[in-house]
Structure formats: C-alpha cells, structure tokens
Amino acid sequence: MTNRFPLKVAEKIGQLIQTHQRFILTTHINPDGDALGSEMAVYWHLKSLKKQVWIFNQNAVSQNYCFLDPQKVIQVFDPCKHEAILRQAEVCFVLDIADWQRLHKLAKWLHNDSIVKVCIDHHPIENQLGDINIILPEASSTGEILYRLFKQLKVPITIQMAQAFYTAIMTDTGCFRFSNTSAATHRMAAELLELGVVPSAIYQKIYEQDSPGKIWLLGQVLSNLQFECDGRIVWFKITEAMLRQAGISRQELEEFTDFPRRIKGVEISVLFLEQGTDHTKVSFRSKGTIPINDVARELGGGGHPFAAGAVVGMPMDKAIPSTLQKLRSVFSLS
C-alpha cells in the first residue's frame, strides 16, 4: 500500500485547515476505538493550531475509551443546543463513516448546509458524501489513513495524538490479528511506540476494564451458541432484556462477535442484537475465507469483506431465519 495520497487531495485538506477557523468532527453511532481515536487525533492537531473545534457524536464515550478524552470535549449531539455552532462552523470532518444514514441527527444539517465536508474512511462505499473524500478500503483503519495524511502534511505527532492513533489501529485490527493488518500497519505501530506510546497501558485501559455485567452476559452468550452448516456458521442473539439484566450498554458489545470465531471449524460468526420491537442489528465476522459484506449489503448494510453488518427492519424472530437463509446460500455456492 502506498504511503502517499494524491498530492492535490493532501494539499486541499492542508489548505482547508490553514484557511478556516471553526471545525466540527463527527463519527458513527456507538463509536469504537478507531472512530474515537481518529476524532481525538484530528482534534489535538487542530487545537495546536489555535482552531475552534467541536466534536459532536450520537453517543457518549464508553468508559474504556475515556482516557482518550481527558478534557471531556466530546459532546452528545443535541440539535437544539448546538444549532448555533453548526451554523457558524466552516468545515466538518466526517471520520470512519461514509454513509449519510449513519450520521443520524447530524445528517440533515450537513446535507443542506454550506459547510465543507471532508470524509475520511476505510469502509468501501458506493456514494461519497464529502466535498473531499479519502476512502481507502485497503487501510486497516481510519486512524491509519489519517496518520499517513498527517505525515504527508508534515504535521508534528504529539504523544496525545500518538496514543489516539495507536488506539485506532490496535482496536480495528483486533490487536493486530485480523486480516486487515499489513506491513504498513506494523510500521505505523512501531513509529508510534518510538514516540512514547506504551502498548500494555493502552491495552489495559481498553480491554481490562470490563464490568461484572459484561462478563456475565458473555457467559450467557457463549453457553447458548447456535450452529449452522455443519458448524461453519455460529450465531447468537442478545435481547434488550438481556442488556438490562446485565446492566450494560450496547457499546460494551464491541468485541462479542469475535469470540465464537475461536471455535475450530467456524468460518462465520453472527450477532443478532435486538433494537426495539421492529429492528435488529446484525453483525458478521468471517475468519477470512468467506466474504460476508455482500450478505450485509443485501440486508441494507455494508462493510469490509470479512467484517460487516446491517440494521434489518424486522423483529429478531424474523430477522434471524431470513439472515441465516442468505448465509446458507453463501456456503451452497462455495
């Protein structure tokens, strides 16, 4: 993978940053380590240039990522409260998301506004939403794309930015074990360590802060796994009642889909997550042999070949058999 972007694209973004003063940063719902790390890396750079910067997300930062935002600058977006800021903003960085629908409440503001939109993402898309777009599906993470961009623009990387970048690539590569991990990813990690990042400290903050409720729920999930296609598909469900009983949020389910992939013979792991009475979130993970993003697209979602998802407009008891039927066809054709 090349280490440079087309010169005109990098120059455009550099010029936008130099010539504008008021910036908004945002990302997808239930932001993960890549989304939050990318936001905070851009935030620290813009603040170093004395810019006005606001981060508006749809959800609060989960506890295990709070170390990235010690000053609590990330705000939950409120149209009424933040309308004046939106009208004054000049540039919006949309990070780790390239789908208007996933912007939720912010979508209508950005769609009809004169604000310049810069979209940076590593998820494959069909319709680009930014005035300036950097979409690189071959990158491990949005954090990796931003790091390469900043290096090309000769942006000094502070320790705060380095920790944010490391969080982004570590989480989106599954601690460097997923198929999206490349030689470039490891080189980036090495450079961040040279800047002072302590991997064990970041790992502990993110992955060793689980609540008893989360571990209880994981136990419930693992003891009720369902198998299809001679054990090549494993699936499980989490209802809203289960979340309430565990006392945890949806954001704490980030790595649940990965656990069942450890089972010998399993090629695809699927999580069905209840969202109200008539919607179900479906998350797919593949070991790297069977692509599953086409199935996600059939359901109205998308993603990478081996990590994808969708929100299905039907209750869980209907979403499960419908989705499994599509997955079975994948194996019948392979």
pTM score, whole prediction:
0.87
Residue 100 confidence (pLDDT): 67
Q: Are 188 and 282 contained in the same domain?
A: no
Q: Would you say residue 228 has pLDDT above 80? A: yes
Strand-pair category, 116-121 with 132-135: parallel
Q: Are 274 and 191 contained in the same domain?
A: no
User: How far is CA 276 from its chain centroid?
Assistant: 22
Residue 2 lies in a domain: no
Residue 316 confidence (pLDDT): 96
Lowest mean pLDDT among 124-133, 165-174, 228-237: 124-133
Q: Would you say residue 5 has pLDDT above 80? A: no
Confidence of residue 203 (pLDDT cuts 50, 70, 90): very high
Q: Are 60 and 189 contained in the same domain?
A: yes
For 104-160, what is each residue's pLDDT tens digit?
778 877 776 789 999 999 987 766 778 899 999 899 999 999 999 999 999 999 999
Residue 123 confidence (pLDDT): 84
Residue 291 confidence (pLDDT): 92
CATH of residue 279:
3.10.310.30
Residue 114 lies in a domain: yes
Q: Are 61 and 171 contained in the same domain?
A: yes
Residue 7 confidence (pLDDT): 74
Domain boundary among 156, 180, 207: 207
- The string of DSSP codes covering 238-269 is E-HHHHHHHT--GGGGTTGGGGGGGSTT--EE
Q: Are 75 and 157 contained in the same domain?
A: yes
Q: Are 238 and 201 contained in the same domain?
A: no
Q: Would you say residue 98 has pLDDT above 90? A: no
CA–CA distance, 174 with 209 (Å, rounded to integer): 17
For 246-298, what is each residue's pLDDT tens digit?
999 888 898 899 999 999 999 999 999 999 999 999 999 999 889 999 999 99
Residue 1 lies in a domain: no
- The string of DSSP codes covering 188-219 is HHHHHHHTT--HHHHHHHHHS---HHHHHHHH
Q: Would you say residue 332 has pLDDT above 80? A: no
Q: Would you say residue 191 has pLDDT above 70? A: yes
CA–CA distance, 4 with 176 (Å, rounded to integer): 22
| Domain containing residue 288 | 212-333
Q: Would you say residue 3 has pLDDT above 60? A: no
CA–CA distance, 201 with 218 (Å, rounded to integer): 24
Exposed e or buried b for every residue in 237-266, given b needs 16+ CB within 10 A?
bbeeebbeebebbbbbbbebbbbbbeeeeb
Q: Are 172 and 28 contained in the same domain?
A: yes
Residue 226 lies in a domain: yes
For 20-55, what is each residue's pLDDT tens digit?
999 999 998 889 999 999 999 999 999 999 999 999
* Mean pLDDT for all residues in the chain: 92
Residue 108 confidence (pLDDT): 77
Exposed e or buried b for every residue in 80-104, given b needs 16+ CB within 10 A?
eebeeebeebbbbbbbbbbbeebbe
CATH of residue 50:
3.90.1640.10
Residue 334 confidence (pLDDT): 53
Residue 333 confidence (pLDDT): 55
Q: Are 120 and 38 contained in the same domain?
A: yes
Q: Per-residue pLDDT averaged across 4-16, rounded?
A: 85
Q: Are 104 and 193 contained in the same domain?
A: yes
Residue 103 confidence (pLDDT): 76
Residue 250 confidence (pLDDT): 87
Non-local CB neighbours of 66 within 8 Å, separated by 6+ positions: none
Domain count, the chain: 2
pLDDT exceeding 70 applies to what percent of the chain? 96
Domain boundary among 156, 182, 207: 207
Q: Are 201 and 235 contained in the same domain?
A: no
Domain boundary among 139, 173, 207: 207
Q: Are 161 and 228 contained in the same domain?
A: no
Q: Are 195 and 222 contained in the same domain?
A: no
Lowest mean pLDDT among 58-67, 72-81, 116-125: 116-125
For 310-330, what is each residue's pLDDT tens digit?
999 999 999 999 999 999 988
